[in-house]
């Protein structure tokens, strides 16, 4: 493994400061909070700590070697099999059968289902001892596509990658009598959010007791996050709009009320105000029900929307605007609308201590396509439900030449570029968990950084509230 110098670590951390938060508005409005986050890593000695941990360590390198052995002998073939047998969220029965059987064969006690989710599970190492509880998240659902289910986000590899890490760490803890244990979380339906399965599991207390959580994810580049608040895919409100009208023969349509016209008008209303909405917003909707027959006035239609913005404060305004657009559409067409806010994803927390350590290891392990600058802050999973409450990291080594959610990324999961990326993800995650289990100074740094960033979130939200004033529209003169 190539070593990274202390000066190089300092340069990495300096680069991290350049990308705090996602939008200019966030950075300006919350500059005092952002400054505190930027200076936290250096004040905690993160560059020196990363350089120390990334130095030669036989115990860690033995764990990495075991990960490589497991991946090459058993788990990359399993990843290929899951890629070739895709199952969409909450229907991943074949995948979880393979994953849970493997964990059970390696001394993990599997509990399934959990949190009321039929394809969610928890697997706890049977021989763990009191000490750090090392958490590993597995995902395994495929995307929904027009040609059927497909692994265009390479979730097929996340289960095998996570299991290589869990098994290697569990064996290390027992062999070296190192205090601690390993817990694996099987989280289904990630692409079906919101509400995301991890949120449901968090609310059910499934993640309670984890001291750190790691996971992997596919990417077209090797990257790391800046420290702070954020999410990979922006804050999201999931909202369903159902319009109710009255049926009639289309030749005497005046006897009915057309719910299809209402849902179309909703989309038109949204388009009419897009120029007044901040450009970072994304309002994405599909008509899921549009009527039954051309000769019958549709009396029920429905549209499903993901409404996104980089922070939850302005997102509330955008969502209110879309809700009002739906009410206006119903009023204009003589129909009625039911508005269902069925789920939300919010900011998580990313830590410089873990992100910079992961970056150092990925470079040592030969990752390609390394992004020299850190990305925006984001938690280690898609919604902040878990990553805003438990410290952790999502490891992202390049595993495809194609962007996410494409057939090209699915194809790359079966080739050398995918296999190499998956192996580096597994080795990096294992190295981080080894260090967390064996170095109390890393545990303390992670805990301190996480607690301080977590405490700043309320101040951050308050600052953003002042940045998004609503314009006053005067009442018409009588």
Residue 472 lies in a domain: no
Last residue of a domain, one of 345, 365, 397: 345
Instruction: Say whether 129 sits in a helix, a strand or coil.
Output: coil
Q: Which tokens go with 415? A: 């080739």
- Which of 293-297, 342-346, 425-429, 451-455 has the weakest average pLDDT? 342-346
**Could you tell me if residue 470 is inside a domain?**
no
State the alpha helices, DSSP H only, in 177-251.
197-203
At 235, list the tokens: 């804050």
What digits encode the pLDDT tens for the residues 210-229?
A: 999 999 999 999 999 999 99
Whether 330 maps to a domain, the answer reads yes
The whole-number pLDDT of residue 22 equals 76
Residues 102 and 167 in one domain: yes
- Give a yes or no: residue 364 inside a domain: yes
**Domain-located, residue 476:** no
Same domain, 58 and 125: yes
Provide the CATH number for the domain around residue 275.
3.30.70.360
What is the token pair recorded at 73? 């002998």
Q: Are residues 302 and 366 in the same domain?
A: no
The Cα diameter of the chain in Å comes to 84
pLDDT at 7: 40
Q: What is the pLDDT of residues 290-323, one digit of tens each?
A: 999 999 999 999 999 999 999 999 999 999 999 9
Same domain, 356 and 282: no
Structural domain ending residue among the three candidates 299, 327, 345 = 345
Query: Mean pLDDT across the stretch 187-206?
Result: 89
pLDDT of residue 90: 95
CA distance 215 to 167: 14
Count structural domains, the chain: 2
pLDDT digits over 387-401, tens only?
999 999 999 999 999
Backbone φ/ψ region at 399: left (φ over 0), alpha (ψ -120 to 50), beta: alpha
- What backbone phi and psi angles, to 5 degrees, belong to 244? -120, 125
Q: What share of the chain is helix, strand, coil (3-state, %, to 5)?
A: 50, 20, 35
Sheet holding 235-244, edge to edge: 282-289, 300-309, 235-244, 336-345
User: What's the pLDDT at 284?
Assistant: 96
Task: Give the domain-ending residue among 288, 321, 345.
Answer: 345
Q: Specify whether 52 is located in the same domain as 200.
A: yes
Residues 339, 446 within the same domain: no
352 and 341 co-located in one domain: no
Kindly give, in sequence order, each residue whose CB lies less than 8 Å from that of residue 48, ignoring residues fewer than 6 positions away: 6, 9
- Residue-wise pLDDT for 400-439, tens only, equals 999 999 999 999 999 999 999 999 999 999 999 999 999 9
| Interval 451-478 mean pLDDT | 92
Tell me, yes or no, whether 165 and 20 share the same domain.
yes
Q: Is residue 471 part of a domain?
A: no
Q: The domain containing residue 146 runs over which residues? A: 6-232+348-462
Which residue has tokens 């239609």? 301
Peptide bond into 194 cis (omega under 30): yes
173-195 pLDDT tens trace: 999 999 999 999 999 998 886 67
Neighbours of 364 (CB within 10 A): 18
Q: Is the pLDDT at 382 greater than 90, yes or no?
A: no
Percent residues over pLDDT 90 in the chain: 89
| pLDDT tens digits, 34-58 | 999 999 999 999 999 999 999 999 9
> CA 197 to CA 210: how far, in whole Å?
17
- Same domain? For 228 and 194 the reply is yes
Judge if 182 and 85 occupy the same domain: yes
* pLDDT higher than 70, residue 12: no
| Per-residue pLDDT, 194 | 67
Q: Which two tokens stand for residue 61?
A: 């390198």
User: Token digits for 437?
Assistant: 């289990």
Tell me the two tokens of residue 429: 């995650």
User: What pLDDT score does 19 carry?
Assistant: 53
Contact between 119 and 113 (Cβ < 8 Å): yes
Residue 14 has pLDDT above 70, yes or no: no
Tell me the β-bridge partners of 340.
Answer: 240
CA-based nearest residue to 325, from 254, 391, 276, 256: 276
What residues have CB less than 8 Å from 80, skipping those under 6 apart?
156, 413, 414
With 70 as the cut, is the pLDDT of residue 4 above it?
no
My answer on whether 210 and 226 are in the same domain is: yes
Average pLDDT, the chain: 94
- In which region does residue 12 sit, left (phi positive, over 0), alpha (psi from -120 to 50) or beta (all else)? alpha
pLDDT for 23 beyond 90: no
pLDDT confidence of residue 390: 98
Distance CA 468, CA 321 (A): 14
Residues 57-107: tens digit of each pLDDT: 999 999 999 999 999 999 999 999 999 999 999 999 999 999 999 999 999
Determine, yes or no, domain membership for 411: yes
The CATH number of the domain holding residue 14 is 3.40.630.10
54 and 183 fall within a common domain: yes
pLDDT of residue 6: 37
Q: How many CB atoms lie within 10 A of CB 294?
A: 7
Annotate 367-398 with b (16+ C-beta within 10 A) or e (fewer). bebeeeebbbbbbbbbbbbbbbbbbbbbbbbb
pLDDT band at 20 (very low <50, low <70, confident <90, very high): low
Sheet holding 108-111, edge to edge: 108-111, 121-125, 181-186, 133-138, 212-216, 392-395
Please write the tens of the pLDDT for every residue from 129-154. 999 999 999 999 999 998 999 999 99
Task: Determine the average pLDDT of the residues in 257-270.
Answer: 98
Angle between helices 93-105 and 76-84 (to 10 degrees): 160
List, in order, residues 6 or more apart from 98 with CB less than 8 Å away. 78, 81, 82, 159
Name the pLDDT band for 109 (thresholds 50, 70, 90). very high
- Look at residue 29 in the predicted model and tell me its pLDDT: 87
Residue 477 maps to a domain:
no
């Amino acid at each position: 493994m190539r070593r990274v110098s202390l000066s190089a670590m300092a340069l990495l951390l300096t680069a991290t400061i350049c990308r705090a938060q996602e939008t200019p508005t966030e950075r300006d409005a919350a500059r005092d909070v952002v400054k505190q986050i930027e200076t936290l890593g250096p004040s905690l000695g993160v560059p020196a700590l990363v350089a120390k941990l990334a130095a030669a360590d036989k115990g860690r390198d033995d764990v990495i070697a075991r990960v490589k052995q497991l991946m090459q002998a058993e788990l990359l073939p399993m990843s290929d099999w899951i890629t070739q047998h895709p199952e969409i969220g909450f229907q991943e029965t074949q995948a979880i059968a393979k994953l849970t059987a493997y964990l059970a064969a390696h001394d993990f006690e599997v509990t399934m289902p959990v949190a009321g989710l039929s394809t969610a599970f928890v697997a706890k190492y049977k021989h763990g001892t009191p000490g750090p509880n090392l958490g590993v998240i597995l995902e395994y659902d495929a995307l929904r596509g027009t040609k059927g289910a497909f692994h265009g986000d390479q979730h097929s590899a996340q289960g095998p990658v996570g299991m290589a890490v869990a098994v290697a760490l569990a064996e290390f803890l027992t062999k070296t009598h190192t205090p601690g244990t390993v817990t694996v979380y099987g989280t289904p339906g990630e692409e079906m959010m919101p509400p995301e399965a991890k949120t449901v599991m968090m609310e059910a207390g499934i993640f309670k007791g984890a001291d750190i959580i790691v996971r992997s994810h596919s990417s077209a580049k090797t990257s790391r996050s800046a420290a702070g608040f954020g999410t990979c895919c922006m804050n999201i409100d999931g909202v369903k709009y159902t319009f109710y009208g009255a049926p009639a023969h289309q030749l005497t349509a005046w006897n009915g009320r057309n719910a299809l016209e209402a849902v179309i008008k909703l989309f038109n209303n949204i388009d009419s105000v897009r120029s007044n909405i901040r450009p970072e917003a994304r309002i994405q909707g599909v008509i899921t029900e549009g009527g039954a027959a051309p000769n019958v006035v549709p009396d029920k239609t429905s549209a499903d929307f993901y409404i996104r913005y980089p922070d939850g404060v302005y997102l509330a305004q955008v969502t209110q605007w879309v809700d009002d657009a739906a009410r206006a559409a119903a009023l204009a067409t003589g129909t009625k609308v039911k508005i269902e806010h069925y789920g939300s994803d919010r900011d998580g927390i990313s830590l410089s201590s873990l992100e910079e350590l992961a970056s150092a290891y990925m470079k040592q392990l030969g990752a390609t396509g390394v992004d020299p600058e850190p990305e925006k802050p984001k938690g280690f999973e898609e919604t902040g439900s878990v990553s805003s409450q438990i410290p952790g990291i999502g490891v992202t080594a390049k595993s495809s030449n194609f962007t996410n959610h494409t057939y090209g990324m699915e194809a790359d999961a079966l080739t050398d570029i995918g296999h190499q990326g998956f192996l580096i993800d597994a080795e990096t995650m294992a190295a981080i968990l080894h260090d967390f289990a064996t170095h109390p100074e890393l545990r303390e740094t992670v805990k301190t950084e996480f607690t301080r960033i977590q405490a700043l979130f309320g101040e951050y939200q308050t600052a953003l509230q002042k940045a998004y004033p609503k314009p006053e529209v005067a009442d018409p003169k009588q």
